[in-house]
Amino acid sequence: MREVYQEQLDKLADELAAMSTMVGNAMEQATTALLGADLSLAEQVIDDDMKVDEARARCEEHAFGLLALQAPVAGDLRTVISTIHAAESLERMGDLALHVAKAARRRHPQPVLPEDVKTYFSQMGQVAVKLANRLNQILRTQDVQQARDLEVDDDEMDDLHRHLFSVVMGSEWSHGVSAAVDITLLGRFYERFADHAVSVARRIIYVVTGTMPNSDRP
């Protein structure tokens, strides 16, 4: 019985890891759509968002099933509860990729991004995908050090976001208020994507150590 129970716990980890891949792919595609004003790719991200929602629902169904049928305690209870929180954060990461894709669709056929900020979004997209890929490994291995190291990549995203904001607010900005609003919102979507990745990594640290890391992150 214990062996079957452990298989069920492992399945939860695999489902979360699969979600991290899905949201990473979504943000990669959304960024490509944003940079290239690619309507078909933006539509694909929008259509595929339902798959992320369905994956979260399956994770939660399996987690609540374990709570009801197995009455887990101690470390196993931490795993199940953390799965529920992590699935929520991963779904929100998917929603943030969705927002990026919708911005690309809303402005089509015009590009959303002025040329002088495209490099920032290209780099933020790369960091976002890197975070999702690393999160996949962390969820599968429960490596505490890798989970802690994830915040280094989040710091890189924060630096890019700050520099982007300084450009938008700078005296040389010549693209108007509407573009500034778009850029500010889009930058925030990427920053929040990274923050949620860190939140999931912190949940893994909690599962393994029993202690939630002290942080002002979500």
- pLDDT tens across 60-102, in order? 999 998 888 777 677 788 888 999 999 999 999 999 999 999 9
Q: How large a percentage of the chain has pLDDT more than 90? A: 78
Other beta carbons less than 10 A from residue 77's beta carbon: 15
Q: What letter would DSSP give residue 210?
A: S
The pLDDT value given to residue 151: 87
Whole-number Å distance between alpha carbons of 170 and 167: 5
Average pLDDT over residues 198-216: 87
Domains plus CATH for the chain? 1-209 (1.20.58.220)
pLDDT for res 73:
72
How much is the average pLDDT of 131-154? 94
* CA angle centred on 188, ends 184 and 191, rounded to 5°: 140
**Separation between Cα atoms, residue 18 and residue 73, nearest integer Å:** 26
Residue 191 has, within 13 A of its CA and on its CB side, a CA count of 18
Q: Which amino acid is at 163?
A: H
- Contact, 22 vs 51, CB < 8 A? yes
pLDDT value, residue 2: 60
